Structure 1
Amino acid sequence: MKNKPILLSASALMLSSIAFGQIKINTKTIGAATKAAQAVTLSNEDVVAYTREYIEWMDANNPVAPDNHEFAMRLKKLTENLKSYDGLDLNFKVYLVKDVNAFACADGSVRICAGLLDVMDDNEVLGVIGHEIGHVKNMDSRDGFKTALMTSALKDGVSSQGGTAGVLSESQLGDLGEQIANMSFSRKQESAADDYGYKFLKDNQVNPWYMSMAFERLVEVSGGASEGGPAKKLFSSHPDTQKRVSEMAKKAEKDGFEKPQPQQ
């Protein structure tokens, strides 16, 4: 199947932590003061509602691996005991695109790109999943998604539908995707998500060395540059990938874990 281009955030955004008939919606124009007030009063429930709409749009506009595809079967087996984690109900799909990437969403949706499954073994993929869920649970994704909503999709206002979030149009979803694709997290946020991924592996009885090994794999596929090659979008913000390899390795050694041999 031919890979289809996709606009994805560097890490998960609240859907995360995106690409892609006109939908008839009820809209209204609002002034700057109203928009400022809406930015403050937009509830978590509203953000989650927009998130669900967005992930539905993502799934409809990207090549999702069918259940009998080798990558879909591999991911299903890998996550068969991950119906929920840390209070978040999870669901998984594979996008048949070449990007070395993944993202997790506030509604528990986790999407893995085929490019990532091509270059990482199962436990390394689990480390990436844990990292992405970390951005969701640490609220990085919610805050980033909310900002993207207010500066793109909702810049002209969306009317309330019986007290709930208004429906976004195709063009608004496109604007939102562009904002998300250009976002990155801070050094502190990335480090916290790394630690979360480390704990996620331990909680799932996986050697946390695989957190370091996942980053190491990114260095390999990017030709040694943390922001180059096909992996440039994943883990692209500070700190640099090589430093994160070292930090996670030191953490695992301190906790008494031995580095495993890579899966064949």
Structure 2
Amino acid sequence: MKTTMLLAALTALFMVMGFSLGGPRGAILAFMVAAGMNLFTYWNADKIVLKMHNAVEVDASSHPEFYGMVQRLAQRAGLPMPKVYIVDQAQPNAFATGRDPEHSAVAATTGLLNMLSHDEVEGVMAHELGHVKNRDTLIMTMVATIAGAVSMLANFGMFFRSNRGLAGILAVLVAPFAAMIVQMAISRTREFGADKSAAKISGKPLALASALAKISSEAQHIRNPVAERNPAAAQLYIVPSGVKQMFSTHPPTEDRIAALQDMAGAFGGGGTDSWSSRPDEVGDMSGLRKRSALDPRGPR
């Protein structure tokens, strides 16, 4: 209900922008554009996001351990098998996309696969499948689309606004910030939900907590060219990319880790060593010291 109301508020804000620039006809046109954008996004979001990242699809032959991990997690979650992708990017991160569980995809960067242990990667991918299970992938893409359109209209209005007085000027100046606040409110709610789903799917909330602690710092110091070109893409990732916390679409990482630690207590542990009896398959993923079956370059 909260997400629906916030989405409605974002659409209404877009219509207000249209009204400020073009009167009643502008509001109607803005509503039609928003509806058209959402329809386009519904059918094409996954293709747009994956192409934006130059993601490469992998399968059981090219990356058996990584693909098999996602397959097992999807089965535990009661989800159809998503398409699995790897993004050749140094920044450790991951994302999910797709309009519904039947047309979903999950992706991890080479930086993430090289940095984390097997259990930590499993926790991250469980988080992304949590987004799929909760249908966040469609919601967040729609939010990013409308929020981006509001900012575009505001920029347009700064140069071509008609003489509509103070109200029009305020709309142009305030609307982008209002859109950002709504976008942040929706995204932060969905991130906590995906963390909770990940804990249930993997049964290892501490593994996800450990992964968040490792990658949150690195993600702020390693460039992400995609997020730099398209700031709205930052909300897709498991941790924010190159933004200050005040303007982040994600909750503070410390709060997420604390919540996962509480879940671990409720689960009676939530340890991270369930695969330690298979060192040949797990390997040491911190840096490039060893190659494992999860190595983004494929099996040995």
Amino acid at match of 1:235: V
The equivalences for 1:73-92 within 5 A come to 73-82=64-73, 85-92=77-84
- Say whether 1:105 aligns with 2:97: yes
Within the candidate set 39, 62, 74, 2:34 is matched to: 39
Amino acid at match of 2:92: V
Higher helix proportion: 2
2:259 aligns with 247
Which string of whole-angstrom CA distances, capped at 9 and with x for unpartnered residues, describes residues 209-262 of structure 1? 21222223225x53xxxx732399642344322332232122112221253458
CA distance in 2, matches of 1:101, 1:248: 19
- Say whether 1:212 aligns with 2:209: yes
1:137 aligns with 133
2:180 aligns with none
Unaligned 5+ residue runs, structure 2? Answer: 1-24, 154-182, 225-233, 241-247, 277-281, 285-300
CA distance in 2, matches of 1:42, 1:117: 34
Which string of whole-angstrom CA distances, capped at 9 and with x for unpartnered residues, describes residues 15-49 of structure 1? xxxxxxxxxxxxxxx96523313424766x75331
Which string of whole-angstrom CA distances, capped at 9 and with x for unpartnered residues, describes residues 155-198 of structure 1? 89xxxxxxxxxxxxxxxxxxxxxxxxxx7554332211110111
CA distance in 2, matches of 1:89, 1:140: 17
CA distance in 1, matches of 2:206, 2:61: 29
1:230 aligns with 222
**How far does residue 136 in structure 1 lie from its aligned partner after superposition?**
3.6
CA distance in 1, matches of 2:268, 2:74: 29
CA distance in 2, matches of 1:63, 1:186: 23
Structure 2 vs 1, CA of residues 252 and 67 (structure 1 numbering), >3 Å: closer, same or farther? closer
Kept after mapping to 1: 8 A contact 2:60/2:68: no
Question: Which structure's CA Rg is the greater one?
Answer: 2
Amino acid at match of 1:145: T
Amino acid at match of 2:70: T
CA distance in 2, matches of 1:244, 1:78: 23
Task: Give secondary structure in 2 for the equivalent of 1:81.
Answer: helix
CA distance in 2, matches of 1:258, 1:199: 10
Moved over 6 A (4+): 65-70, 153-156
Which string of whole-angstrom CA distances, capped at 9 and with x for unpartnered residues, describes residues 130-159 of structure 1? 222323433443233123334557989xxx
Which string of whole-angstrom CA distances, capped at 9 and with x for unpartnered residues, describes residues 55-82 of structure 1? 4534xx6263777998x34422423435
CA distance in 2, matches of 1:254, 1:83: 23
Structure 2 vs 1, CA of residues 39 and 139 (structure 1 numbering), >3 Å: closer, same or farther? farther
CA distance in 1, matches of 2:60, 2:137: 31
Amino acid at match of 1:51: A
TM-score w.r.t. the length of structure 1 is 0.59
Identity of aligned residues (%): 23
1:114 aligns with 110
- Say whether 1:126 aligns with 2:122: yes
Count the aligned residue pairs. Answer: 198
CA distance in 2, matches of 1:99, 1:210: 19
Kept after mapping to 2: 8 A contact 1:100/1:231: no
1:12 aligns with none
Kept after mapping to 1: 8 A contact 2:55/2:85: no
The equivalences for 1:140-151 within 5 A come to 140-150=136-146
Structure 2 vs 1, CA of residues 66 and 91 (structure 1 numbering), >3 Å: closer, same or farther? closer
Amino acid at match of 1:124: E
Unaligned 5+ residue runs, structure 1? Answer: 1-29, 157-182
Structure 2 vs 1, CA of residues 38 and 139 (structure 1 numbering), >3 Å: closer, same or farther? farther
TM-score w.r.t. the length of structure 2 is 0.53
**Higher mean C-alpha deviation, range 208-217 or range 120-129:** 208-217
Structure 2 vs 1, CA of residues 41 and 80 (structure 1 numbering), >3 Å: closer, same or farther? closer
